[in-house]
Amino acid sequence: MVVETIPLVPAQHQYAITTPLSELAGETREVVHPMIRNQDKSTYFRQHADCYGVGSYNHEPLLVDPKDILSHKESAVMPSVKEFTESHFESPWQSSIELIPSLANQELSYKINGLMSFTNDGFPIIGESSKTKGFWVAEAVWVTHGGGVGKVVAELLTTGVSSLDLHECDINRFARVTQGREYIWASAAQQYTDVYDIHHPHASPKTKYRQLRVSPFYPRLQELGAVFSTSGGWECPQWFESNAKLLEKYTIPQRQGWSAHNWSNIQGVEHLATREKVALYDLSSFTKLEVTGDQAISYLEYLCANKVSSTAGKVTYTSMLNANGGIMCDLTITCLNPEKFWVVTGGAVGNQHFAWMRSHLPQDNSVNIVDISSSYCCVGLWGQLAPKVLSKITNEDVSNKDFPFFTAQLIYLNSIPALAVRVSYVGEPGWEIYTPTESGLKLWDLLWQAGQDYEIIAGGTYAFNSLRLEKGYLAWGTDINLEHNPYEAGLGFAVKLNKGQFIGRDALLQRKNSQSRQLCYLTLDDSSAVIMGKEPVLSGKTILGYVTSADYGYSFGCCVAYAYLPLEYSVPGTKVEIEYFGDRFSATVVDLNRSSKTKVKSKSERSASKNAVTTL
């Protein structure tokens, strides 16, 4: 009715209830026993008074075309019930008897193949359509999520703001290339198969549909032995096997157990080589939005917490907030001229940020916004030697004096037109360099050749992440989201309350002096310990918060973590503990000075003082 693609597929799921068990004779209470899950056999169990219910995912995906639901004639109960398929229940029933012997002589008095919805990524789909105002969706919601989803949808409908961060459930999160029927069906089938698996946070998505979005640099990345994962549908290199030779130069701590999965020690050498010399990073997955119009600056000022510069060549780092002061977006805005701006944000979250910005466009068409992500590629040129590399292929002065931080220039690199933006997410000198996609491969080759005298390397997303963590830079959706405001996240420097009205300003005025927690920078005292994020942070038996993101800081020789802690625990030098697989690691709150540089330790220095921490 509204021509909206909702990427989910109905899938049959088996559930059966036994006849009464003699061990439960006379029991009338609905549920007394705890719920049981047999993870290895993909089954679960629920007491029904004197009977037992058995649910099973232990069968091949049985997907159902939505059109078949409306014409369903098999069940007189409801269209969402399909005929029970005995063959698919034989194996899970036998494993159920092994776990609960009392089931051995029971029959099944109730048995169905019920329909559930599975999405591309296994999460629910919640929110208002960005195409049809007033069309709201709350789909693929499991029973266990029902109460929470009901609460947040009611909040959205009545106040427009949710009390919980919903970015992983956002209806607008799906890239266009992931909304084709074949992709959705294949992804939903995989999600059903994996529903009881133990999922590693760094595992690549299991889908046969890959290489749907590749940068123009892709052939060169392949030649360098890139190991790819995906983000926003893009193929993104995690690390490069060609950099393994640098393991002779740098000593990288080995990992064991969970943190060693989907990891390579090559991440460490890429990290250190970027700090020490220079590296190229494929940033083409960045979402690039072009905002134009004679009211563009007023529009952006209303959306942004920071003062947006309308001077050509100036770059503004800012958050966009919701009415509660929660961080909706975290991005940079480059002014090309007073009526033309580039908004750049992450590729995985770009669709959501684009939808938020579109929802606030003026009704008089005085502002236009276009997603130009596929029209321009981007490469990050970063490291101490980045200015030397760039100066070899341009006539422009790229010194700090003539090309300072947070500025942008339209330049030519030999004959290639480019927008060079002096920003760095890894904390070293350098640029994000944008050029039309058709010139991208030539740009990569030009920079690569210019960097040979400086031992240039290609860096992957793993090094990209550990570099930004070490330097104190935050990731939206991980370290900051709708449940955080700029002050507790340490981003108060990018809020200008005196610039005039903007979304979230009234809430910030109330919350500025009443915060109860602060995002803290932590280093683990044990130089061999590695955590991965989401672990609880404790003081004795008191849980203080959880780790938002973490990785090994190869320049420091210890693991780095971020966590929101109560104010009394946010004082530098405070000791806390982080629990990881039952072990507790001591960690120290560190004072983070964003303006100073990270000192890269030599191989001998790292060996001599692995517990030392360099203050940023």
Locate all alpha helices (DSSP H) within 345-411, ordered by sequence.
350-358, 386-391
Q: Please, which residues bridge with residue 517 across strands?
A: 566
Helix/strand/coil for 477: coil
401 Cβ contact partners less than 8 Å away, ≥ 6 residues apart: none
What radius of gyration do the chain's Cα atoms show?
Answer: 27
User: Which H or E element spans position 52?
Assistant: strand 51-56
| Active-site position among 13, 59, 271, 353 | 13
Q: Please, which residues bridge with residue 231 across strands?
A: 234
Taking alpha carbons only, the member of 183, 182, 193 closest to residue 62 is 193
What DSSP state is assigned to residue 286? S
What DSSP state is assigned to residue 6? -
| Active-site position among 44, 192, 462, 564 | 44
Residue 13 annotated to the active site = yes
Residue 48 annotated to the active site = no
Taking alpha carbons only, the member of 329, 286, 336 closest to residue 305 is 329
DSSP string, 304-350: BSSPPP-STTBEEEEEEE-TTS-EEEEEEEEEEETTEEEEEE-TTTH
Residue 40 annotated to the active site = no
DSSP string, 43-84: EEEEEETTEEEEEE--S---B--HHHHHT--S-SS-TTEE--
| Active-site position among 170, 192, 250, 330 | 330
Helix/strand/coil for 542: strand
Q: 381 is written with which tokens?
A: 């040129």
State in Å, rounded, how far the first CA of the chain is from the last one: 55
Tokens 């517990």 -> residue: 611
Tell me the C-alpha distance between 262 and 208, whole Å.
Answer: 19
Annotated catalytic residues are 13, 44, 330
